[in-house]
Amino acid sequence: MIQIRIEPLTAAAFAPFGEVLAPKSTPDRMINAGRCERHHALATVQRGGGEAIISIFRSTPVSLPYDCDLLERHPLGSQAFMPMGPDAWLSVVAPDENGRPGTPRAFLVPAGTGVNLHAGTWHGVLTPLDRAADFLVVDREGTGTNLEEVRIPPVRITA
């Protein structure tokens, strides 16, 4: 069994898979009579001809070590996950290797931070740690096959 360690989430490390959704060090502009910071256009919704939709996903938790054996991807659209609770969570992603997932990587996503996965990025299912969590999800709805799931030999993820 392959074993991987969780990596800290940085924009540079995550760039091959998507964008990190977190406030910038300084806002793009102040709005609402100076009461609200606007951190503008943190990611782009890739729609592949479909519509952008907003959903809430409720996911059961895992504990470490965690054995990941299922990856999926959405070839026609991006998929953004923003936690609605106060906890850090795990984002498992993998490069594409000739239409199959390569070796996964696991990122610890800090509380209050989300990710936007590029269209076609292999990723694990939502993975809150230690307690259930709700996520605001922005993704694509439309015609065409936009979900591929594959079972992989289990990959053990450790802290």
| pLDDT tens track for 88-97 | 999 999 999 9
CATH of the domain at 46: 2.60.120.480
Q: What is the pLDDT of residue 78?
A: 98
106/125 Cα distance (integer angstroms): 12
**Model confidence over 24-33: pLDDT tens digits?**
999 999 999 9
Range(s) of the domain holding residue 66? 2-158
**Model confidence over 104-115: pLDDT tens digits?**
999 999 999 999
Structure tokens at 143: 């015609």
**Model confidence over 30-57: pLDDT tens digits?**
999 999 999 999 999 999 999 999 999 9
Q: How confident is the model at residue 65 (pLDDT cuts 50, 70, 90)?
A: very high
Q: What is the mean pLDDT of the chain?
A: 97
Q: What is the pLDDT of residue 132?
A: 96
- From residue 131, alpha-carbon distances to 30, 59, 71, 150 in Å are 35, 9, 21, 26
Q: What is the pLDDT of residue 157?
A: 98
Q: How confident is the model at residue 136 (pLDDT cuts 50, 70, 90)?
A: very high
Q: How many domains does the chain have?
A: 1
CA 134 to centroid of chain Cα atoms: 13
Is the separation of the CB atoms in 99 and 21 below 8 Å?
A: no
Q: What is the pLDDT of residue 133?
A: 97
